[in-house]
Structure formats: structure tokens, C-alpha cells
Amino acid sequence: MKSDFKILIVDDEVLIAEFLKDELITLGYQNIFLAHSRKQAFSQINEVNPQLVLLDIRMKNEREGIEIAEEINRTCKIPFIYITAHSDKEIVKEALATKPAGYITKPFKQIDVYAAVHLVETTFESAEEAFLVFKDGYANIKLSVDDILYAQSDDNYIHIYTDTKKYTIRNTLEWFRENTPETLFHRTHRSFIVNISRITKTSTKAVFVGEIQIPVSRGNQPRFD
């Protein structure tokens, strides 16, 4: 089996990161990237747009992995799996609160690595094939979520924008969030949800989808440090 699934390994222990990379290559995963610090992690996320992050809980300090996970949740919604040998109850509780997609424990067992990664890969593939189904007048629309640029709230309606068309339906952004993949869409503002993969540029108060400027409220900026 060969897979194009893109995986970023974030671990400050270079030998462990390289060993895990070799295990994944043996399992057929070809697109493996490495980062050994917080700064490198977000630089790689920005550059290669990984579909999964394997993240060591404990790096330079006790909570660094958890802090990286919290930043991922705030900014880019990429699924992550913790790499851990940790047994401290409080740290484990903090880690669980970040809603990881799974855990891989040290020392690594190849079957555990494969099971954890393959589960996320399968879920991602399902999300990529997702559709948003709604009524547009008398017509039933089945719209691929990949075609959606962003959604905008307008009182009791939402506008759903694609490259070629705008749909206006009587519903809420909460309904939109519940019916689209969490990993693909980010709420930048109380009135806007944006397809992360279609963002072409960011500024302090806006993101851009091509030439379209979408506002970002404080704390909702999809930053890449």
C-alpha cells in the first residue's frame, strides 16, 4: 500500500522523529514532514498543509505539545495524534481536553501506529467526499463541501458562496457547522465561516479567498506562526 496522505511529525527528539518517519514509510506513507519546535511546526503547517499531525506531548517544557495542540484547534483544525510516554494524570487530563484524534505510546508498535494513522486517514477521505444537502426553492441541492468558499449569515438566512454561484437558504451558521466537516471550515467571525483550504491570504483583521475579503474577529484569526 502506498498513500499520499500528508503527515507532520512534531517531536524535539530528532532520533525518535526519524524512527517514526521510517515506520510510516514502511507502512506505505510517502509524504512525511518533520518539525522539532513550535516555530518549525507552524511553519511546516503553513507550507505543506498536512492532513495529520503526530505531536509529542512533552517537548522543551511539560505543556509544549498541549499548547501546540490548542493553537492547532484555534487556527487550522488539523487532526492530531499525541505521541506520549506520559502517565501523569493531570497532564493526560489536559491532553484529553484538546480532543486529539488518538494516541501513540512509546515505545512504538508498528500495528498501533498504523491503526491510529489509518483511522484518521479514512475519516479524512470520508470528509473529502462530503456533501451539503439543502433545498433551493423547489430544487434539492447536493453540494460538494470542497466547492464551498464561505458561508455568511444574514438574519434568518445564510448565503453559501461557491466559485460560480451563491445559494441563499433559510437556515443558520450553526446548521452549516453541524453539517460540514469541522476540519475543513473555520469560523472567522460571528457572521462568517470559511473553507480553510480556499484561504489565499491573511491579515490582522481579515482573510482572503482570492480577492474576497472576509472579516476576522479577535481570537479567530487562522494564524501560522
Residue 222 lies in a domain: no
What's the rounded mean pLDDT across residues 7-28?
95
What's the rounded mean pLDDT across residues 172-182?
90
Per-residue model confidence (pLDDT) at position 225? 40
Do 85 and 49 sit in the same domain of this protein?
Answer: yes
Instruction: Give the C-alpha separation, 39 to 45, whole Å.
Output: 10
Do 28 and 118 sit in the same domain of this protein?
Answer: yes
Quote the percentage of the chain above a pLDDT of 90. 60
Model confidence at 33: pLDDT above 90: yes
Range of the domain at 81: 3-128
Instruction: Give the C-alpha separation, 5 to 20, whole Å.
Output: 15
Do 140 and 207 sit in the same domain of this protein?
Answer: yes
**Between these two residues, 13 and 89, which has the higher pLDDT value?**
13
Model confidence at 80: pLDDT above 80: yes
Using the 3D structure, point to which of 128, 161, 177 is the last residue of a domain. 128
User: How many domains would you assign to the chain?
Assistant: 2
**Between these two residues, 83 and 76, which has the higher pLDDT value?**
83
Beta bridge partners of 132: 143
Do 158 and 66 sit in the same domain of this protein?
Answer: no
Bridge pairing between strands 192-195 and 52-56: unpaired
When mean pLDDT is compared across 4-13, 69-78, 158-167, 172-181, the lowest value belongs to: 69-78
Model confidence at 212: pLDDT above 90: yes
pTM exceeding the 0.75 threshold for the entire prediction: no
Per-residue model confidence (pLDDT) at position 128? 57
Do 120 and 147 sit in the same domain of this protein?
Answer: no
Do 209 and 107 sit in the same domain of this protein?
Answer: no
Residue 221 lies in a domain: no
Give the model's confidence band at 7: pLDDT under 50 very low, under 70 low, under 90 confident, else very high: very high
Dump pLDDT digits (tens) for 153-166: 998 999 999 999 99
Q: What is the CATH number of the domain that holds 192?
A: 2.40.50.1020
Do 10 and 105 sit in the same domain of this protein?
Answer: yes
Residue showing cell 480553510: 196
Do 107 and 143 sit in the same domain of this protein?
Answer: no
Instruction: Give the C-alpha separation, 169 to 149, whole Å.
Output: 16
Which residues 6+ apart lie within 8 Å of 214 measured at CB? 150, 188, 189, 192, 194, 206, 207, 208
Using the 3D structure, point to which of 86, 111, 128 is the last residue of a domain. 128
Give the model's confidence band at 1: pLDDT under 50 very low, under 70 low, under 90 confident, else very high: low
**Between these two residues, 138 and 177, which has the higher pLDDT value?**
177
Do 120 and 10 sit in the same domain of this protein?
Answer: yes
